[in-house]
Structure 1
């Protein structure tokens, strides 16, 4: 673990942490607005569900491609310059989107936001290492920043719902992007004021050698099983999370603003689930917890979806009047929550320290690919069959995930012993 710089005062360290948290809050709102934007695109621009689902691809594929291309280059430019460049691009695209007011503008928006987030996540993870002098302080700081991401996710649903009206064709909701452009400028200011130093590079290192090391890592059986597990998990999470607003609106016949607000339960469930898992893992083995969570997810899907059949349209004006199924489905996030962080923690602790940076790049890449696949598949099934069929199909990757987690456990146990 890289020690904290001796020249950093507490105030300087706090400014860096605030800047990282502000960036994560902004990107949480933007990235997780894709479900809301999909629903609004269907209603406002009259695009099909399959076309709207493609927005997830512009977001996640740009994250994957950007991470793959620039992960080894960012330290050479410096984290401050990288963060400012990413935020400048986001500010510009947020100002352009409401001016264009067309569906293609959101393809551009999510492509730019995805590229920017790849730069931000790589930079933030590296800065956390610089600010930490022990594994426990690293874990505490990273959990705090990831916690702020969940606060941003939760806030984003309510921020967008505030701008949504009852008129399907109205474009007033696009004004939310002026607010997000302003927030991006605040993030830029916080980065400028933060005393972020350029990292010293090890002698003899090169972009080519670091890039090659990341590619070689993927050939290890342990890493391959992890990649499959992470891909399947994110496929489920993004498939459900992205399409919940549309599910609430089209299947449960809830108003658009209520549909979006109820989706915030999903984000809140993820946040609560991760906090609880941190305590449960102190007394319970990670493999046991993950199996309980996976089985509970399957049970909740089988319990909830029958309640969504033949739901009649009602005059519902607030979240408090929604049917029971609208509350139960987002609660799946409570059981999803521990799976991804636990898988990441196990794989990183199973590898030597010099391999962990490359592994972080792999995590970002295959998580993005899984998110794209999940959203597009769910959207296709939603379009050509029904919302119930789309969510029932989540049981297939769920069963595969149970198998892959078992294989991951078998290979990670001896690897952790060697790494220790």
Structure 2
């Protein structure tokens, strides 16, 4: 029962943050509509979110085990609940920036804690991978529901209206319920070698990044998240401006991307029980490139007045989000392979590195896509994803070779 309560607490925490983190694409579109900001300026929201994730993870990942995972999660959740509660009453672009900086800070604390708790609850690689995919699958369900929750608060008769900000009152209530679950969960405080100071633990995390296997891994993580956020954050705007869909339909139809990601991760669990992860990852990357090459030429703007529902949307609106089906397994699989190669005492600092480079990749992908979108158009911005897809094929080759020949030693 206690194990189930802990899993429920971390799963619900991940679900809430999935709604908040992946709302950035919707908020970028609505900020352009409501606050009349440019695309490059709107793209900075990804930076406020991801750079705060990176900075906080970098600074506190090695310190979190000392205060305990439960305390860390509660601090993050309380911060987000407070910011969500005040955002609608202020209703300005600067408070949206502050909100995403707070979301990023809180998620850094929560993600490091959740990944370490998964290690506590797992006895071997198989159970670790299974629980990791379950939690990441729930995260994708949060992403999916987030598109519909935000779309429900948008006024279709006045896209510049600030009524959509009221969604944050609902999210604040969800976070409050999550806080109660985390308080009730018997999450263990990890054993920490008190002879090793905070500074030494921080240096040990940095040393971990110098290992050849870890270095290849974090480059792979960076490239993957660059692709995912570059597409995911700008897909609602792509639907609105390139395909000509109404704002509400643009956001709702983006949920296909979340469905594809969730389904891809669930199917990956079945497939990976029968095949090796490396050839499966290669097949996924080739599939991603194929989806972009086949769907982007079909992206043509249609008359908005002709679109009353999803049924009227052009075929490209359905095909492009299917890239999520191919990219879905990559992130949890390579994370699981990496963490399973480490002793549990190194899971928190390793997760810190994962979060840092995931955040940097997400910010880079979103900002580059935003600038190219503004300068050259949405199709060219999405074609650009083929470059990191090719680079990821190369880094995964070396990652596979490194995992086959290198055994990491416990440096703690």
TM-score range, shorter chain: over 0.9
* 1:240 is aligned to 2:240: no
Q: How far is 1:149 from its partner?
A: 1.0
Q: How far is 1:203 from its partner?
A: 4.5
The match for 1:325 among 313, 316, 319 is 316
Q: Which position in structure 2 is the counterpart of 1:205?
A: 196
Query: In the aligned structure 2, how far is the partner of 1:391 from the partner of 1:313?
Result: 22
Q: Which position in structure 2 is the counterpart of 1:269?
A: 260
* 1:137 is aligned to 2:127: yes
Number of residue pairs the alignment of both structures matches: 409
Please list every run of 5 or more consecutive structure 1 residues that lacks an aligned counterpart in the other structure: 1-9
Q: CA RMSD in A?
A: 1.8
The worse-fitting range, judged by mean Cα deviation, of 76-85 and 26-35 is: 76-85
Q: Which position in structure 2 is the counterpart of 1:363?
A: 354
Q: How far is 1:353 from its partner?
A: 4.8
Q: Which position in structure 1 is the counterpart of 2:391?
A: 400
The match for 2:183 among 177, 192, 205 is 192
Q: Which position in structure 2 is the counterpart of 1:177?
A: 168
CA deviations over 1:82-133 (Å, ceiling 9, x no partner): 2221111111100111111111111100000100011111122222233334
Q: Which position in structure 2 is the counterpart of 1:6?
A: none
CA deviations over 1:196-247 (Å, ceiling 9, x no partner): 3433323423212211111011112222221211111110110000100000
Query: In the aligned structure 2, how far is the partner of 1:302 from the partner of 1:312?
Result: 24
CA deviations over 1:240-271 (Å, ceiling 9, x no partner): 00100000011111111111111111111011
The match for 1:39 among 21, 24, 29 is 29
**Residue 102 to residue 418, structure 1, CA distance change in 2 (3 Å):** closer
Q: How far is 1:190 from its partner?
A: 1.4
Q: How far is 1:356 from its partner?
A: 3.6
* 1:104 is aligned to 2:94: yes
* 1:155 is aligned to 2:155: no
CA deviations over 1:278-318 (Å, ceiling 9, x no partner): 22222222221111111111111111111113544442122
Q: How far is 1:79 from its partner?
A: 2.4
Instruction: Report matched runs for 1:251-270 at 5 Å.
Output: 251-270=242-261
Q: Which position in structure 1 is the counterpart of 2:288?
A: 297
Query: In the aligned structure 2, how far is the partner of 1:129 from the partner of 1:345?
Result: 10
Please list every run of 5 or more consecutive structure 2 residues that lacks an aligned counterpart in the other structure: none
Q: How far is 1:354 from its partner?
A: 4.3
Q: TM-score, normalised by structure 2?
A: 0.95
Q: How far is 1:411 from its partner?
A: 2.0
* 1:76 is aligned to 2:30: no
Q: How far is 1:59 from its partner?
A: 0.5
Query: In the aligned structure 2, how far is the partner of 1:97 from the partner of 1:300?
Result: 38
Q: TM-score, normalised by structure 1?
A: 0.93
**Residue 417 to residue 88, structure 1, CA distance change in 2 (3 Å):** closer
Secondary structure class of the residue paired with 1:125: helix
Q: Which position in structure 1 is the counterpart of 2:336?
A: 345
Q: How far is 1:17 from its partner?
A: 2.1
The worse-fitting range, judged by mean Cα deviation, of 354-363 and 371-380 is: 354-363
The match for 1:28 among 10, 15, 18 is 18
Q: Which position in structure 1 is the counterpart of 2:52?
A: 62
Contact 1:267–1:333 (CA under 8 A) maintained in structure 2: yes
* 1:230 is aligned to 2:221: yes
Contact 2:254–2:321 (CA under 8 A) maintained in structure 1: yes
The match for 2:371 among 374, 377, 380 is 380
**Residue 287 to residue 13, structure 1, CA distance change in 2 (3 Å):** closer
Secondary structure class of the residue paired with 1:253: coil
**Residue 292 to residue 378, structure 1, CA distance change in 2 (3 Å):** same
Q: Which position in structure 2 is the counterpart of 1:5?
A: none
Q: How far is 1:144 from its partner?
A: 2.2
Q: How far is 1:344 from its partner?
A: 1.5
Query: In the aligned structure 1, how far is the partner of 2:40 from the partner of 2:298?
Result: 25
Secondary structure class of the residue paired with 1:200: coil
Secondary structure class of the residue paired with 2:268: helix
Query: In the aligned structure 2, how far is the partner of 1:349 from the partner of 1:134?
Result: 8
CA deviations over 1:8-46 (Å, ceiling 9, x no partner): xx2x33322222122111101000000000000011111
Q: Which position in structure 1 is the counterpart of 2:79?
A: 89
Q: Which position in structure 1 is the counterpart of 2:107?
A: 117
The worse-fitting range, judged by mean Cα deviation, of 388-397 and 125-134 is: 125-134
